[in-house]
Amino acid sequence: MSEQPGPGGALVPLPDLDADGRAAFTHGGREYAVFTLDGQVVVTDGACPHKGGPLAEGLVRDGAVRCPWHWYTFDLATGVCRSAESAPLRRHEVLDVDGRPHARVVPPATVSLAERLRAHARGED
């Protein structure tokens, strides 16, 4: 997949959607999932924030995707977890570039081991 640099991330052309209106792609070593919600294309991280399950393989119903591993359910419009206290699902901006949808994918901020340990000690993981 080719990319175009952009402010705040890379612009990546989206793959064609399957018959169910979804797709998956990899960019920069990370997985992303593509869904349709009320006729709009939504791009999220491909790994569930809970334990990394493949969200592109999850059940999509009532505007949410359910992870196939542990059934955590994330609202596609907001990224909020509907089923448990969890980190939200990261969503990525979708833009039209020359008539084709692209995602502006922004890698997550790198967190040091010390920062992760402090967050764990505070009960934030």
* Model pLDDT, residue 125: 57
pLDDT at 1: 43
The pLDDT score that the predictor gives to residue 110 is 66
pLDDT tens per residue, range 25-47: 999 889 999 999 999 999 999 99
Q: What is the pTM of this model?
A: 0.81
Residue 5: predicted pLDDT: 44
In the chain the domains, ranked by start, together with CATH numbers, are 4-121 (2.102.10.10)
Q: For residue 76, which of 84, 86, 68, 66 has the smallest C-alpha distance?
A: 66
What pLDDT does residue 107 have?
Answer: 79
Q: How far apart are the first and last CA of the chain?
A: 33
Residues of the chain with pLDDT under 50: 1-6
Instruction: Please state, in angstroms and rounded to a whole number, the distance separating the CA atoms of residues 3 and 18.
Output: 22
